[in-house]
DNA sequence: AGCACGCCGACT
DNA sequence: GTCGGCGTGCTC
């Protein structure tokens, strides 16, 4: 009897065992199967087959119902899912859920396939030739069976041809062909000698087709994208698939145009904004092995590529790659794992690489390619620090831009050049305070302040999204008209700038302002010189190329430094460096002004001196000294419950029962810095392990021996990035 | 995820 | 007395 161990895309730790009926024994592992589960039927993956004489089990074994007409999940992908599950301490079934499209989409299989005939290695037999001739005349057929019928041969011939790699099929849906065959004779970019050398190395790696990780470390504006697109072209020319990960998809029409110019086709996009039918199409295409390029957010890492040839992680240092709900994983790190399992090269691109990546370069695990010149003779901007302790006073009350910055803006406007003001804070004011009793208006469901959004005339919680009207009287002391807005957000900054420069064309961008289209229009306006001043949050810090931008003002450089996060300095440096890099990308040299209350801080000093390497070295030394990642491994345990008391008890019990293990240190329990979010109280415990100690067995042991009270949920975050 | 089983409040 | 709330636990 053949047993089928089937994995279901649900929160399940293990596979379920079924009998594989004689009609289905040929199904390979990885096949999609339909199985009875409880009172209903479910789609799952034949994870493992097992031959067994007879089986005595405590449960009754049901039979696999049918196999589905979907190609089996590649073995490498299954291994990736299993690896990720054990590393992140997530039920495998949950990981599988990220791999599979929605159940209902699976059932709607593509009706028609586009068949492609590849040059055969050896001469074809007459029967096989018939099939290839037919495909050449008419490439659209529903299934292998139908194709065989049309050609007057048995379906086995078609399958044999598929297996031999002579024939391949790609799903065609809704009559829309989507991404066609890439045209590699498109216009290759004109590269500088430095870019060219880097591109050559990357292309060589693609050619070798072995696992390796390369950091593409290029200053802002050095044309990293053009360089890695050459490697992408190389992979495509070999008939392979490419995955390009971006931290968040803010791909402008210009960005897509650049891609289309190079390859003659649009990339396949994969992110939360892509509709279900496009996703289904992409998912099937990728599984069918059709050469294509997917540009996606972190979830694209779970697509079932069957011919992967290259992975690119752009803006490698971005924290948006860390997912902190559902399955807790870091897409950059998991991309390394996937590339290793797929045995393909991986490119990490950044102008401000993460400490983790730089350490891996120094250890020789990753190689590094540097791009030191800005493209087309542009030079890096000068960076000037403004000490707010000195200049604040002259600004007067409720002024967020100090005199030197006002002067710089005035001059820049007079010169007809563009300016950008960066403030990483949405809304009008981060705090509403009662002048009478000192009450700070906070969220009913979270331990956080409500942020005023004046354009929407509301107070909003940035933790849970709760919105309420701005109260007339203080909610605490009921004093009327005593509430005042404290501190600036981009909206308020916009107010000040328009008051200061009434004639200037001023635009503002924040993730909560207007529609996607509106924001894209604003970006285009800026790119094409229809704006004088653009104000924005970190949405404008990355990736954009504003040819006419000469001045960048950082309104509050200290924002990211508070909070005691292990990576606060690194993140602040990266963010400010990235914004600075927006200006001076053409002939006119750029100028950056940074307002700070702590201009002596190493981050500010490093920025103004333009000494990234010294900053990185100091940061790495500090991490080593304090035995922090990447020189140690962290695992965070987050306890949460609507009941304040039971969370604390659970967290304390957990630490109390955890075994003392050499090389592993437990910190906490302590209430989370944001003690309550969405009506749930949170406590945290942090485990730190020496690199020499395996932390997973320890964590598993802890989890097994501490039964959670049902009211309390526990999240485990391996390699945490957020400490809130 | 569903869908069962199971123990406490407002209806005919 | 019953209907039904959704809390907890199982599905090969």
Query: Is A61's CB less than 7 Å from nucleic acid strand C?
Result: yes
User: Please, which pLDDT band fits residue A172 given cuts at 50, 70 and 90?
Assistant: low
Which residue would you say has higher pLDDT here, A197 or A115? A197
- Separation between Cα atoms, residue A358 and residue A198, nearest integer Å: 18
pLDDT band at A243 (very low <50, low <70, confident <90, very high): very high
Query: A344 or A519: which carries more pLDDT confidence?
Result: A344
Q: B8 C1' – A41 CA distance, angstroms?
A: 34
Q: What gap in Å lies between CA A694 and CA A692, rounded to an integer?
A: 7
Sequence-ordered strand ranges (E) for A461-617: 467-469, 483-486, 506-509, 533-536, 549-554, 591-596
pLDDT at A38 over 70: yes
Please state whether the predicted TM-score (pTM) of the whole model is above 0.85. Answer: yes
How would residue A59 be classed by pLDDT, with cut points 50, 70 and 90? confident
pLDDT higher for A349 or A403? A349
In whole angstroms, B1 C1' to A11 CA is: 8
Which nucleotide has the shortest C1'-to-CA distance from A38? C11
Mean pLDDT score, A603-608: 92
Mean pLDDT of A87-96: 94
Q: Which of residues 20-59 of A touch strand C (CB under 7 A)?
A: 36-38, 59
Which has the minimum average pLDDT: A322-336, A622-636, A672-686? A672-686
pLDDT band at A173 (very low <50, low <70, confident <90, very high): low
Confidence band for A112, pLDDT divided at 50, 70 and 90: low
**Mean pLDDT confidence for A516-539:** 90
* pLDDT of A175 strictly over 50: no
CB neighbour list of residue A26: distance below 8 Å, 6 or more residues apart: none
Q: What's the CA–C1' distance between A653 and C7, in Å?
A: 24
pLDDT of A623 over the 70 cut: yes
CA distance A709 to A715: 14
The residue that minimises its CA distance to C1' of B1 is A10
pLDDT reading at A652 higher than 50:
yes
Greater pLDDT, A352 or A137: A352
Q: How far is the CA of A8 from the C1' of B2 (A)?
A: 13
Q: Protein A154 CA to nucleic acid B10 C1', in Å?
A: 69
* pLDDT tens, position by position, A659-674: 999 999 999 799 999 9
- Does A110 score more than 70 pLDDT? no
Long-range contacts formed by A180-185: CB under 8 A, 24+ apart: A180/A265, A181/A265, A181/A291, A182/A236, A182/A263, A182/A264, A182/A265, A182/A291, A182/A292, A182/A293, A183/A263, A183/A264, A183/A265, A184/A233, A184/A236, A184/A237, A184/A263, A184/A264, A185/A264
Identify the pLDDT of residue A162.
Answer: 81
pLDDT by residue (tens digit) across A497-508?
999 999 999 999
Q: Kindly report which listed range (A53-57, A415-419, A659-663) carries the lowest average pLDDT score.
A: A53-57
Residue A377 has pLDDT above 80, yes or no: no
What nucleotides of chain B have any atom within 7 angstroms of a protein Cβ?
Answer: 1-4
Give the rounded percent of residues in chain A with a pLDDT score beyond 70: 93
Q: How much is the pLDDT for A54? A: 67
- Is pLDDT of A414 > 70? yes
Of the listed ranges A137-146, A206-215, A604-613, the one predicted with least confidence:
A137-146
Q: Give the mean pLDDT of A204-226.
A: 93
Straight-line distance from CA A555 to C1' C9, in Å? 54
Distance A356 CA to B9 C1' (A): 57
CA distance A340 to A656: 39
Examine the pLDDT at A464 and tell me if it is beyond 70.
yes
The answer to whether the Cα torsion of A48, A50, A54, A55 is positive or negative is negative
Longest dimension (CA), chain A: 93
Summary mean pLDDT of chain A:
88
How much is the pLDDT for A101? 84
Q: How confident is the model at residue A180, as a pLDDT?
A: 56
Strand C contact with A17 (CB < 7 A): yes
Place A176 in a pLDDT band, splitting at 50, 70 and 90: very low
- The predicted pLDDT at position A164 comes to 79
For residue A613, the model assigns a pLDDT of 92
User: In Å, what is the separation between the CA of A64 and the C1' of B7?
Assistant: 37
| Nearest nucleotide to A94, CA against C1' atoms | B1
**pLDDT value at residue A250:** 66
Distance from CA(A40) to C1'(B5), angstroms, rounded: 17
The Å distance, CA of A708 to C1' of C9, is: 15
Higher-pLDDT residue of A573 and A476 is A573
Q: What gap in Å lies between CA A175 and CA A153, rounded to an integer?
A: 27
Query: What's the CA–C1' distance between A444 and B7, in Å?
Result: 32
- Give the C-alpha separation, A508 to A537, whole Å: 9
Q: Name the closest nucleotide to A97, judged by C1' and CA.
A: B1
List bases, strand C, within 7 Å of protein CB.
7-12
Find where tokens 């994208």 sit: A225
Cα-based angle A664, A668, A674 (whole degrees, multiple of 5):
130
Interface residues for strand B (CB within 7 Å) are: A 10-12, 38-40
Which CA-bearing residue is nearest the C1' of C11? Answer: A38
Work out if A646's Cβ lies within 7 angstroms of strand C: no
Q: Give me the pLDDT at residue A602, please.
A: 92
pLDDT (0 to 100) of residue A720:
95
Point out the least confidently predicted range of A73-77, A350-354, A420-424, A519-523: A519-523
Residue A177 has pLDDT above 60, yes or no: no
Q: What is the pLDDT of residue A300?
A: 97
Q: Is the pLDDT of residue A281 over 80?
A: yes
| Nearest nucleotide (C1') to alpha carbon of A13 | C11
Compute the Cα dihedral for A496, A497, A503, A507 and give only its sign.
negative
pLDDT at A203 exceeding the cut of 70: yes
Q: How far apart are CA A371 and CA A398, in angstroms?
A: 43
**Range name among A37-41, A447-451, A561-565, A629-633 with the lowest pLDDT average:** A561-565
List the A711 CA – B6 C1' distance (angstroms): 18
| DSSP assignment string, A350-407 | ESS--HHHHHHHHTTSSEEEEE-S-GGG--PPEEEEEEHHHHHHHH-TT--S-HHHHH
> C1' nearest to CA of A60: which nucleotide?
C12
pLDDT at residue A608 greater than cutoff 80: yes
Quick one: pLDDT at residue A332? 98
Q: Which residues neighbour A499 within 8 Å (Cβ) at sequence distance 6 or greater?
A: none
- Find the mean pLDDT for residues A256-275: 84
- Residue A710, nucleotide of least CA–C1' distance: C8
Q: Give the distance, in angstroms, between residue A718 CA and nucleotide B9 C1'.
A: 44
The vertex-A62 CA angle with A57 and A68, nearest 5°, equals 135
pLDDT tens per residue, range A285-308: 999 999 999 999 999 999 999 999
């Amino acid at each position: 009897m053949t047993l089928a161990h089937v994995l279901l895309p649900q929160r399940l730790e293990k596979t379920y065992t079924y009998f594989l009926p004689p009609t289905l024994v040929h199904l390979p592992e990885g096949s999609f199967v339909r199985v009875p589960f409880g009172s209903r039927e479910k789609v799952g993956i034949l994870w493992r087959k097992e031959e067994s004489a007879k089986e005595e089990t405590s449960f009754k074994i049901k039979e696999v119902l049918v196999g589905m007409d979907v190609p089996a999940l590649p073995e490498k992908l299954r291994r990736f899912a299993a690896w990720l599950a054990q590393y992140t301490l997530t039920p495998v079934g949950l990981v599988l859920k990220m791999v599979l499209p929605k159940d209902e989409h699976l059932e709607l299989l593509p009706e028609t396939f586009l068949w492609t005939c590849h040059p055969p290695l050896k001469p074809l037999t007459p029967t096989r030739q018939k099939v290839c001739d037919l495909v050449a005349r008419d490439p659209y057929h529903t299934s292998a069976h139908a194709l065989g019928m049309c050609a007057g041969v048995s379906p086995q011939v078609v399958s044999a041809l598929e297996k031999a790699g002579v024939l391949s099929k790609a799903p065609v849906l809704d009559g829309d062909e989507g991404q066609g065959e890439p045209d590699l004779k498109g216009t290759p970019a004109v590269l500088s000698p430095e870019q060219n050398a880097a591109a050559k190395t990357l292309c060589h790696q693609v050619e070798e087709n072995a696992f390796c990780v390369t950091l593409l470390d290029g200053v802002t504006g050095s044309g990293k994208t053009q360089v890695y697109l050459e490697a992408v072209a190389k992979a495509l020319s070999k008939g392979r698939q490419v995955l390009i990960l971006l931290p968040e998809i803010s791909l402008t029409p210009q960005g897509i145009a650049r891609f289309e110019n190079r390859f003659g086709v649009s990339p396949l996009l994969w992110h939360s904004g892509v509709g279900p039918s496009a996703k289904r199409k992409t998912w099937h295409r990728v599984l069918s092995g059709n050469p294509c390029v997917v540009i996606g957010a972190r979830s694209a890492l779970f697509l079932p590529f069957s011919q992967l040839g290259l992975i690119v992680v752009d803006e490698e240092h971005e924290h948006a790659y860390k997912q902190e709900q559902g399955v807790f994983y870091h897409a950059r790190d998991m991309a390394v794992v996937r590339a290793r399992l797929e045995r393909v090269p991986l490119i990490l691109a950044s102008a401000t690489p993460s400490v983790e990546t730089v350490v891996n370069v120094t250890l020789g695990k990753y190689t590094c390619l540097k791009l030191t010149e800005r493209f087309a003779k542009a030079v890096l901007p000068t960076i000037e620090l403004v000490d707010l302790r000195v200049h604040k006073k002259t600004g007067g009350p409720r002024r967020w831009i100090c005199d030197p910055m006002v002067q710089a803006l005035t001059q820049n406007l007079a010169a007809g050049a563009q300016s950008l003001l960066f403030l990483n804070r949405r809304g009008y004011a981060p705090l509403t305070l009662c002048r009478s009793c000192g009450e700070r208006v906070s969220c009913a469901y979270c331990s956080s302040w409500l942020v005023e959004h004046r354009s929407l005339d509301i107070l909003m919680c940035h933790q849970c999204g709760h919105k309420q009207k701005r109260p007339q009287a203080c909610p605490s002391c009921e004093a009327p008209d005593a509430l005042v807005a404290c501190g600036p957000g981009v909206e308020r900054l916009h107010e000040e700038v328009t008051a200061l420069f009434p004639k200037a064309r001023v635009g503002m961008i924040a993730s909560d302002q207007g529609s996607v289209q509106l924001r894209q229009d604003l970006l285009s306006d800026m790119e094409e010189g229809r704006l004088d001043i653009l104000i924005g949050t970190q949405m404008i810090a990355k990736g954009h190329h504003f040819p006419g931008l000469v001045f960048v003002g950082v309104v509050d450089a200290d924002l990211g430094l508070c909070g005691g996060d292990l990576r606060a300095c690194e993140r602040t440096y990266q963010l400010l460096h990235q914004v600075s890099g927006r200006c001076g990308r053409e002939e006119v040299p750029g100028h950056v002004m940074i307002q700070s209350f702590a201009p002596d801080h190493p981050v500010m000093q490093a920025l103004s001196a333009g000494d990234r390497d010294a900053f990185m070295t100091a940061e790495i030394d500090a991490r080593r000294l304090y035995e922090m990642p990447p020189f140690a491994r962290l695992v965070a345990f987050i306890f949460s419950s609507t009941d304040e008391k039971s969370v604390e008890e659970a967290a304390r019990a957990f630490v109390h029962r955890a075994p003392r293990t050499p090389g592993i240190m437990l910190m906490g329990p302590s209430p989370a810095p944001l003690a309550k979010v969405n009506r749930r109280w949170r406590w945290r415990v942090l485990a730190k392990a020496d690199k020499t100690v395996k932390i997973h067995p320890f964590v598993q042991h802890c989890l097994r021996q501490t039964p959670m009270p049902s009211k309390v949920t526990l999240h485990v975050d391996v390699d945490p990035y957020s400490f809130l």
